[in-house]
């Protein structure tokens, strides 16, 4: 059963959808789940993925909420003209306060056991910043294809009264590990159809010699480190060897500093689907993995809060 809900944060309304468990399935012990906008996409997500996940988790006893942040979907509010401007804001955590307000609302009204927050790509970024900023209401994260890299400064609009970054000479791309990773991971169209095995081997070789690739979002890596410190259960879903997967793995390697991944972290790599999980079996894989992880991380009988990792992170924030 779905219903429309609305909350007002700092005077700006956010329209959302609430998935309630069927009668007899609701339990105050089960955490609520909050899904955020995947970039600028309406709250149902690509091919309605988050509406489907919401129905599935509600069937299993979770109250699920999905909100359009102001300006997106059905929520009124200002928007920049260009997508790059919006993304620049996402990548520095500009949407995290809206997410925290939604999590607070969900916990106070429907999910006293706390809230699992997340979503795809931009939503994963926002959820990470939110967890770092104030984890009071959060008990877990679902991060699909978190984006650990920054935009090319030359593609960003000029700040008020300033100038855009100068475009680099194309030849400088030969020295750019970002450009090489784009090319080798298939994010660049020019080499997509050619030599998949050679590309994969070259990517792995390049990654072995790199610490953090060029244009890594260091602020987000810091948020990732501090989130792992908190010991929140986290599910990460990526598409094997795509651009997001590569940056995620390098960021995580850096954060862990040679230690094994903590038991609170589960990383699943999907095969043969698209970044939005809409190609092939992507939707089915996302539904299955998220539902299974929720069941394992938050079993009906277990306490929901106070979980802490059995390891001490030693990695310092990136310079």
Partner 1 sequence: MPEVHASPEVQPAPEAPQQAGYLDHDEVQLYWVRHTAARRPARGRVVLAGPLGDERMHAYLTWVRWARRLAASGYEVVRFDYRGQGESTGAFEAACLSDWASDLRAVAGLVAEGDGPLVLSGLRLGALLSAGLFAGGLGDALLAWGPPASGRAMLMDLLRRKLAEAMMQGRREKGRDRDWYVAHLEGGGTVEVNGYPWGERLWRDAEAWTLAVPVPDERRPWAMVRFDGSTPAVTGPEGAVWGERLQRPPFWMMNQRLVQPVDELFARSLGWLERRAVAAGGGRR
Q: What is the contact surface with partner 1 in residues (CB under 8 A)?
A: 1-6, 11-13, 15, 17, 40-44, 46-49, 51, 55, 72-84, 86, 186, 189, 192-194, 276-280, 282-283
By CB atoms closer than 10 A (0-12, 13-18, 19+), residue 208 is exposed
Query: How many degrees, rounded to 5, is the angle at CA 96 between CA 40 and CA 134?
Result: 160
Q: Which residue number, 44 or 289, has a Cβ lying nearer to partner 1?
A: 44
Of 155 and 253, which has the nearer Cβ to partner 1? 155
Q: How far apart are CA 36 and CA 44, in angstroms?
A: 9
Q: Toward partner 1, which CB reaches closer, 184 or 265?
A: 184
Query: Three-class SS of residue 303?
Result: coil
**Smallest separation (angstroms) from partner 1 to the CB of 78:** 5
Nearest distance, CB of residue 6 and partner 1, angstroms:
6
Specify the residue, 13 or 313, whose C-beta has the smaller distance to partner 1: 13
Write out the H or E segment, with its range, that includes residue 85: helix 83-91
CB of residue 84 to partner 1, shortest distance in Å: 7
Shortest approach of partner 1 to residue 17 CB, angstroms?
6
Based on C-alpha coordinates, what's the Rg of the chain?
20
Give min distance, CB of 305 to partner 1, in A. 31
Read off the DSSP letter of residue 193: T
Closest CA to 146 of 239, 13, 22, 283: 239
Decide whether 44 or 145 has the Cβ nearer to partner 1. Answer: 44
Of residues 83 and 296, the one with the C-beta less far from partner 1: 83
41/44 Cα distance (integer angstroms): 8
Residues paired with residue 19 on neighbouring β-strands, in sequence order: 2, 64
SS3 of residue 216 by DSSP: strand
Minimal distance in Å, beta carbon 238 to partner 1? Answer: 17
């Amino acid at each position: 059963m779905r219903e429309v809900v609305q909350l007002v944060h700092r005077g700006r309304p956010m329209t959302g959808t609430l998935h309630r468990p069927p009668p007899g399935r609701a339990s105050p012990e089960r955490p609520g789940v909050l899904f955020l906008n995947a970039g600028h996409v309406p709250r149902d997500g690509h091919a309605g993925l988050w509406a489907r996940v919401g129905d599935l988790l509600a069937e299993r006893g979770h109250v699920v909420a999905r909100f359009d942040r102001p300006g997106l979907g059905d929520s009124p509010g200002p928007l920049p003209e260009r997508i790059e401007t919006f993304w620049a804001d996402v990548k520095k955590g500009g949407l995290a306060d809206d997410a925290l307000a939604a999590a607070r609302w969900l916990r106070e009204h429907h999910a006293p056991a706390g809230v699992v927050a997340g979503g795809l790509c931009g939503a994963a970024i926002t959820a990470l910043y939110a967890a770092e900023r104030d984890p009071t209401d959060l008990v877990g994260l679902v991060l699909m294809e978190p984006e650990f890299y920054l935009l090319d400064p030359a593609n960003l609009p000029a700040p008020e009264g300033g100038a855009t970054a100068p475009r680099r000479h194309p030849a400088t791309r030969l020295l750019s590990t970002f450009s090489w990773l784009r090319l080798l991971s298939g994010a660049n169209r020019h080499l997509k159809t050619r030599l998949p095995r050679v590309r994969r081997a070259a990517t792995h070789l390049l990654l072995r010699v790199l610490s953090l690739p060029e244009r890594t979002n260091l602020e987000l890596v810091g948020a990732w480190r501090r989130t792992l410190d908190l010991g929140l259960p986290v599910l990460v879903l990526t598409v094997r060897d795509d651009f997001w997967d590569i940056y995620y793995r390098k960021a995580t390697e850096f954060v862990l500093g040679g230690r094994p991944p903590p038991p609170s972290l589960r990383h699943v790599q999907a095969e043969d689907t698209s970044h939005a999980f809409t190609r092939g079996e992507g939707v089915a894989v996302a539904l299955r993995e998220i539902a299974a992880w929720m069941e394992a991380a938050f079993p009906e009988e277990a306490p929901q809060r106070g979980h802490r990792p059995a390891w001490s992170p030693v990695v310092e924030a990136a310079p």
